[in-house]
Amino acid sequence: MGSFEEIARALIVGNHVRVRELTEIALKEGTDPQEIIYKGLIPGINVVGEKFRNNEYYVPQVLLAARAMYAGMDLVRPLIAKLGARYLGRVVIGTAQGDLHDIGKNLVAMMLEGTGFEVINLGSDVSPERFTEEARDKKAQIVGISALMTTTMPGMARTVEALKAAGIRDQVKVMIGGAPVTQLYADEIGADGYARDATAAVAKAKELLSLV
Amino acid sequence: MAEGFLERLKSEVLVCDGAMGTMLQARGLTGGACPELWNKNHPERVQEVHRAYFAAGCNMVETNTFGGNRLKLKGYGLEKDVADLNYLGARLAREVCPPGCFVCGSVGPTGHFLEPLGDVSREEIYDVFKEQILALAEGGADVICIETMMDTEEAAIAVRVAKENTDLPVIATMTFELDRNGYRTMMGIDPVTAARRLTEAGADVIGCNCVNGPEIALGVLQEMKPVTDRYLMAQPNAGLPQLIKGETVFELGPEVYAQKYPVLLEVRPHIVGGCCGTTPEHLAFVVKLVKGINS
Ligand code: B12
C-alpha cells in the first residue's frame, strides 16, 4: 500500500490538508488506525526531526509538519480510544518552569500518544508543584519534563525533589529530555530516564514501565 | 538628544552595555520570575546594573524591558502592566544616564509566531509593539532597540511601529547561529536577507546580537555590510551557558572575551556591546579596545 508513504510524504512537507485527506481515505478503506500512526505519521515526523538536526529544516518547517501530524492524529485518536485498546500507561508531560519551548515536548507527547500511552499535556512553564499535583491526581506512571535552556534545567531537579516531598517519588518514573539535557544530568538529579529524541522517548517510556 | 545619537555614529564607535538578564539573576532573580517586574519591585538593583555599565565606560545602556510586551507579560499575569513596566524601565535608566550617554529602549521578540505559522496576526503584533514602544519613549528612551529577532517580518513590524509612532532613531538586530548552511536565524533567515529587509523597513542601525561570540558576529556583519547603507551594530554573547553544579557558567570569561573581540572591530561596526553572560568587566575590556579605534 502506497498510502502510508503518501501520508508520511505529505507530513514531511507540512501539508496538513493532504494528511487529513489521506488519513480519511485510509480509514474509509478500513485501515487499522494504529497502522496509520506507526507506518505513516511516525516515520514522517522522524524524517522531519532528522532534517531539523541536519539544518535542512528550520523551525517553520517543523511547526508546519507538527500541525500536519496533528491533523492526522486528531482523526485517529478517537478511533483508538473507541477500540477500547488498553493504554500502555499514563504520562503527565510538560516543560520545566520558566521554559516556553514546547515544540519538542509536543512531538514527544504526540509520539507517546501515537504508540498507545495516555498523555496529559500540561503545556509549558510548569512548576514543580503543578507536576506533582497532576501526577498525584491523575495517578500517572510517568512524569515527562522537557527543558531547552540551561537556566530552566534546575526546574527538573526541583520537580524530582517535589515528588519526593509529596511522598510519591516511588510511584512515578521521571523521564527528562530537551537539547541541553544529558544522561549525565538525569543521573545527577536522580531522574529515571533520559531520551534524546521522540522515538527514543517512546522506547524509554516502555522500558521504564517494563513493557519491552 | 536623539539626533545627537546618529550624528555621533558618523565619527566614533559607541559602546553599548552587556547582559541585563544574567546580571539580575546574579542579584536574585529566579527562573520563574518576571525580569521586567523588577523595574517596579527592585528598581535599585536594576539601576545598579545600569550604573555599573556606565562606570565601565559604556556610552549607552539598554532598558530592562526586553520581554516587556503584552504577549510575554501575559505569561506572568502582567499584561495590564505593559505601559507601567516599560515606562519605569526607561525612567530608571534615564535617571542614572550621564550627560553624553544614551538610553536604549529594549524591545525583544514576542515569542509568538505570525500567522499562518502561528496564532498572531500582523495587526495584533503591531499593536503589541506599539503599546511597549510608546511607553519606552514616554519614559525617556533616546533610541529604540529592537533585538534578538529571529523572524524578519516580526522585526520589520517593530521597526515600522517605532518609525511611525515616535521620532527616535531605531536599532534592529537579529540573532544567528552558524550551521552547515552558514549563518541562519532559527527561522532559517540569512544575514543578507535580514539586512535587506531591516533596511527597507527603515531601521537606522542594523546588526546582530546574542550570537555566540565575537567571531560569529564578525561573520554576520561581513555579510550584511555590502547590502546595506545603515550603521552596523554587534553584541555577541559570552558563549553558550553550561550548567555546572547548579550554576550557570558561560564559556567566555572577561579576558577570553577580550582576546576574541578585536577581530570584530575589523569590519568597523558603529556600535558594539555584549549580550548574555557578559558583565561590566567584559565591557570594560571592550571600552578599552574601542578607545584605541576612536583616538
Ligand atoms: C524554537 C526556539 C525558540 C522559540 C520557541 C517556540 C516554542 N513554542 O517552542 C522561541 C522564539 C519562543 C524561543 C524563545 C527563547 N529562546 Co529559544 N530556541 C528555539 C530553537 C531555535 C529550537 C528549539 C526547538 O524547537 N527545537 C526543535 C525540537 C523538535 O527539538 P527539541 O526541542 O530538542 O526536542 C527534541 C529532543 O530534545 C527531545 N525532547 C524534548 N523534550 C523532551 C522531553 C522528554 C521527556 C524527552 C524524553 C525527550 C524530549 O525530543 C524532541 C523531539 O525529537 C533553539 C535552538 C536550537 N536550534 O535548538 C533555541 C534555544 C533553545 N533558545 C534559546 C534561548 C536563549 C531563548 C530565549 C531566552 C531567547 C530570548 N533571548 O528571548 C527565549 C526564552 C523563552 C523561554 N522563556 O523559554 C537558547 C537556549 C540557550 C541555553 N542553552 O540556555 C537556544 C539553544 C538558542 C541558542 N543557541 O542560544 N526559542
Q: Where are the domains of chain B?
A: 2-294
Amino acid A130: pLDDT:
97
Strand partners, B182: B179
Q: Is the pLDDT of residue B1 over 80?
A: no
Which three cell numbers, joined as nine digits, stand for B15? 559602546
B37: nearest Cα among B94, B80, B95, B99:
B80
Is the distance from the beta carbon of residue A166 to the nearest atom of ligand 1 less than 6 Å? no
Is A104 found in the same domain as A75?
no
Note if the bond before B226 is cis, omega within 30 degrees. no
Do A103 and A204 belong to one domain? Answer: yes
Q: Where are the alpha helices (DSSP H) in chain B?
A: 2-11, 21-26, 38-41, 43-55, 70-73, 82-96, 122-138, 152-165, 191-201, 214-224, 254-260, 262-265, 280-294
Residues A60 and A29 in one domain: yes
For the Cβ of A193 lying below 6 angstroms from any atom of ligand 1, the answer is: no
Examine the domain organization and report whether A157 and A129 are in the same domain. yes
A212 contact B CB<8A: no
Q: Is this structure's pTM higher than 0.80?
A: yes
Indicate whether A68 and A113 sit together in one domain.
Answer: no
| Contact check, Cβ <8 Å, B31/A98 | yes
Q: Do A59 and B186 touch (CB under 8 A)?
A: yes
Q: Is the ipTM of this complex over 0.85?
A: yes
pLDDT digits (tens, 9 = 90+) for B139-150: 999 999 999 999
Let me know whether A73 and A131 are in one domain: no
A115 vs B264, higher pLDDT:
B264
Looking at the fold, whether A77 and A157 belong to one and the same domain comes out as no
CATH of the domain at A11: 1.10.1240.10
A125 and A193 together in one domain: yes
Query: In this structure, what are the phi and psi dihedrals at residue B75, rounded to the nearest 5 degrees?
Result: -60, -20
pLDDT digits (tens, 9 = 90+) for B158-217: 999 999 999 999 999 999 999 999 999 999 999 999 999 999 999 999 999 999 999 999
Mutate to test the interface with B, among A52, A59, A126 (most CBs of B within 10 A): A59
Verify that A111 and A138 share a domain, yes or no.
yes
Q: Are strands A193-194 and A173-177 parallel, antiparallel or unpaired?
A: parallel
- Domain termination site, one of A32, A57, A83: A83
If asked whether residues A190 and A170 sit together in one domain, one would say yes
Q: Is the pLDDT score of B25 beyond 80?
A: yes
Give the C-alpha separation, B25 to B279, whole Å.
Answer: 12
Tens of each residue's pLDDT in chain A, 212 residues: 458 999 999 999 999 999 999 999 999 999 999 899 989 998 998 899 889 989 999 999 999 999 999 999 999 988 877 776 678 899 999 999 989 899 899 989 988 988 889 999 999 999 999 999 999 999 999 999 999 998 899 999 999 999 999 999 999 999 999 999 999 999 999 999 999 988 899 999 999 999 87
Only one residue has cell 514546547, namely: A102
Domain of A97 in residue numbering reads as 90-208
Q: Tell whether A113 and A37 lie within a shared domain.
A: no
Mean per-residue pLDDT over chain B, rounded: 95
Give the architecture-level CATH label for domain B2-294. Answer: Alpha-Beta Barrel (3.20)
Last residue of a domain, one of A24, A54, A83: A83
* A63/B118 touch (CB, cutoff 8 Å), yes or no: yes
CATH number for the domain that contains residue A124: 3.40.50.280
> Do A193 and A99 fall within a single domain?
yes
Set of chain A residues whose Cβ sits within 8 Å of the Cβ of B241: 150-151
pLDDT digits (tens, 9 = 90+) for B240-262: 887 777 777 899 999 999 999 99
